[in-house]
Amino acid sequence: MNRKRIGQWILIVSLLFAMVLVAGCQSSGDQPASSSQVSESTDKNNSSTSDSGEGTEDSDSGETQGLDPLVIAQQEWEISAHASSFVADSEGHNNACARCHSPKNWTPTLEDIPESCQACKFELPTPPVFIQESDWLHISCIMCHQVDKKGVVQSEVEWLEIPVLEEYASIESHSELCLKCHNTENVPEHGLVVVDSGHADMQCTECHSPHDTTTTCMNGDCHSDVLSDTDQILGHDNDHKDVSCAACHDNAGWDVGPDPETGIWTTFSPWSHEVMIGEADSILQSGTIPFSSHDIGLEVNCERCHYSGNPWELTENVEIP
Ligand code: HEC
Ligand code: HEC
Ligand code: HEC
Ligand code: HEC
Ligand code: HEC
Ligand code: HEC
């Protein structure tokens, strides 16, 4: 996961660089966003044609690219986890996974259809057990935005409630939209997002970009002074450079420890049961998976890690002024 993130950052940086270059050369190419066109095709090398059957056509908007919010959204999305969401379970099944990982590919059963639509008279095909990776549409623009007849993605945010009927539902908040899929309470091997304590009133999109989905605690106006030269707080120091903010500031009492994959200290989502990730010898002893807690508070207990007999051989008694 960390490798993926480093990759994402490299891509973001190079994209920004490319955008600066393009902006420099084409500053006369400004046009209103709505006149430009972005394909929802999942083919990463091809942003103006589509084989996904959504009626996308070519247009002559090429020279407006670079500053167009649609193009920026497209570029950000392409490097996100939402654009590479193909999965299959150990038996090689993935129609059930597609419900969240590629809802446009998902073939629901009648019980899966919202009650409001139970009375609809339409035939549902028998769900396939496996959808080919080449057919997978990922979490594309159409899940969160309507697309007009010309294939232009509208900037209003909506939710494609019933993909088979192309029926959209309005949403009250951005968090409601994200939680359509990030409510993984009953999905084993998945982490759980519960935004609480210090950030309880915040929307997902106040921290995460909806398109590249990345964030840090120090972005924008948030906590940019933390870890600076003027920051004298115990724990905000070089000793803890491999400890994530959430590992110290988690308020939910989740287990903490180093992520077996990255070595960075993090929290472990308590929801999953015995899970196996990768090889059989990497079964996680605690029965939980590394996942950033979103229940973040001010109070930090040094003894959470520095207790006597701790398994990591950290100093047992640390100075607490
Ligand atoms: C209820 C929605 C939902 C369903 C159903 C679902 N997933 Fe997920 N999946 C997610 C979300 C949201 C994430 C993002 C990270 C997280 O919450 O753990 C994710 C992440 C993952 C990841 C980790 C990807 C990464 O890069 O870290 C894997 C692997 C995965 N899912 C496999 C599956 C498989 C296999 C199935 C079907 C058996 C499935 N998921 C069904 C919502 C779902
Ligand atoms: C998971 C849901 C989701 C997906 C997928 C998604 N968007 Fe968005 N999009 C949003 C949200 C939420 C906002 C509102 C952001 C805000 O107001 O802070 C938004 C805003 C926008 C805007 C308005 C300008 C801006 O950037 O704020 C444009 C244009 C846009 N999206 C285009 C796209 C395109 C093109 C794609 C596909 C490449 C896409 N979006 C995919 C959720 C999504
Ligand atoms: C259609 C379902 C869906 C919606 C809606 C959705 N997500 Fe996701 N999201 C996923 C899945 C599935 C993954 C995991 C993809 C993978 O790696 O296989 C994911 C991955 C992520 C990740 C990366 C997790 C990681 O392990 O690095 C973040 C962050 C994220 N989403 C945030 C958001 C935000 C913020 C919103 C709302 C603007 C949102 N998502 C809306 C399904 C969704
Ligand atoms: C080793 C544990 C530890 C880590 C890691 C840590 N903190 Fe803290 N943090 C503390 C302690 C202890 C306090 C003081 C709490 C108090 O005032 O009771 C604190 C206080 C804070 C405060 C409130 C004081 C202020 O400066 O405004 C903020 C905000 C904060 N931390 C943000 C962060 C962020 C962001 C990160 C990640 C970059 C982080 N912390 C990482 C231990 C930690
Ligand atoms: C106060 C800011 C904040 C809010 C609000 C927030 N997040 Fe996050 N989220 C973070 C930070 C910081 C990380 C860790 C990022 C990293 O390590 O790269 C994170 C990580 C994640 C991850 C990846 C977790 C992992 O360890 O793999 C997912 C998925 C996610 N957030 C989804 C959401 C969703 C969905 C919402 C809204 C319900 C949300 N977030 C609200 C700050 C926030
Ligand atoms: C989430 C776990 C965690 C919490 C909470 C935590 N630490 Fe640490 N601490 C660590 C880790 C990991 C190291 C690095 C150990 C190493 O590099 O070998 C460390 C190192 C230290 C060291 C250097 C000595 C040593 O053992 O390597 C001191 C001193 C220290 N911590 C003090 C504190 C204080 C004071 C607090 C409370 C404000 C605190 N720690 C909270 C995990 C934590």
For the chain, the domains span 202-321
Which residues, including other chains, have CB under 8 Å from residue 185's CB and lie 6 or more apart? 192, 271
Q: How far is CA 279 from CA 248, 275, 276, 282, in A?
A: 29, 11, 7, 6
Mean pLDDT of 151-173: 94
For tokens 């294939």, the residue is 151
Whole-angstrom Cα distance, residue 312 to residue 260? Answer: 13
- Which tokens in the block code for residue 257? 């420890």
DSSP state of 228: S
pLDDT band at 310 (very low <50, low <70, confident <90, very high): very high
pLDDT band at 125 (very low <50, low <70, confident <90, very high): confident
What's the residue count for the chain? Answer: 321
| Contact between 314 and 293 (Cβ < 8 Å) | no
pLDDT of residue 15: 46
Mean pLDDT of 283-291: 65
Q: Name residues contacting ligand 2 (CB within 6 A).
A: 33, 38, 69-70, 73-74, 77, 82, 139-141, 143-145, 153, 155, 157, 174, 177, 205, 210-211
pLDDT band at 29 (very low <50, low <70, confident <90, very high): very low
pLDDT of residue 80: 98
pLDDT tens for each residue of 223-266: 988 988 888 999 999 999 999 999 999 999 999 999 999 999 99
Distance 106 CA to ligand 5 centre (A): 26
Q: Which residue has the higher pLDDT, 236 or 276?
A: 236
pLDDT of residue 49: 36
| Contact between 296 and 246 (Cβ < 8 Å) | yes
| Contact between 314 and 219 (Cβ < 8 Å) | no
| Contact between 212 and 80 (Cβ < 8 Å) | yes
Helices and strands of the chain, counted as H and E runs: 6, 7
Q: Relative to the CA of 87, which ligand 3 atom is closest?
A: 18
**pLDDT above 70 (res 17):** no
Amino acid at 11: L
Whole-angstrom Cα distance, residue 109 to residue 136? Answer: 19
Q: Count other C-beta atoms under 10 Å from residue 61's C-beta.
A: 18
DSSP state letters, 253-283: --EEEE-TTT--EEEEES---S---SSGGG-
Q: Name residues contacting ligand 1 (CB within 6 A).
A: 1, 81, 87-89, 96-97, 99-101, 181-182, 184, 187, 190-191
Share of the chain above pLDDT 90, in %: 55
pLDDT tens for each residue of 200-212: 999 999 999 999 9
**pLDDT above 60 (res 275):** no
Distance 279 CA to ligand 2 centre (A): 37
pLDDT band at 112 (very low <50, low <70, confident <90, very high): confident
Q: Is 199 touching ligand 3 by the criterion CB < 6 Å?
A: no
**pLDDT above 70 (res 39):** no
Nearest CA to ligand 3 atom 20: 81
DSSP state of 147: B
pLDDT of residue 121: 65
Mean pLDDT of 290-314: 95
Q: In what order do the strands lie in the sheet with 265-269?
A: 255-258, 265-269, 289-290
Nearest CA to ligand 5 atom 28: 193
pLDDT of residue 174: 97
Whole-angstrom Cα distance, residue 22 to residue 67? Answer: 8
pLDDT of residue 272: 54
Name the nearest CA neighbour of 3 among 285, 280, 263.
263
pLDDT band at 277 (very low <50, low <70, confident <90, very high): very low
**pLDDT above 50 (res 109):** yes
Whole-angstrom Cα distance, residue 117 to residue 120? Answer: 5
Task: Quote the pTM value.
Answer: 0.87
pLDDT band at 270 (very low <50, low <70, confident <90, very high): confident
Per-residue buried b or exposed e for 240-277, using 16+ beta carbons within 10 Å of the residue's own CB: beebbbbbbbbbbebbbbebeeeeebbbbbbbbeebee
Mean pLDDT of 148-166: 93
pLDDT of residue 321: 58
Whole-angstrom Cα distance, residue 287 to residue 270? Answer: 8
Angle 162-166-167 (CA atoms, 0-180°, nearest 5)? 60
Give the torsion through C-alpha atoms of 186, 192, 193, 197, to 10 deg.
110
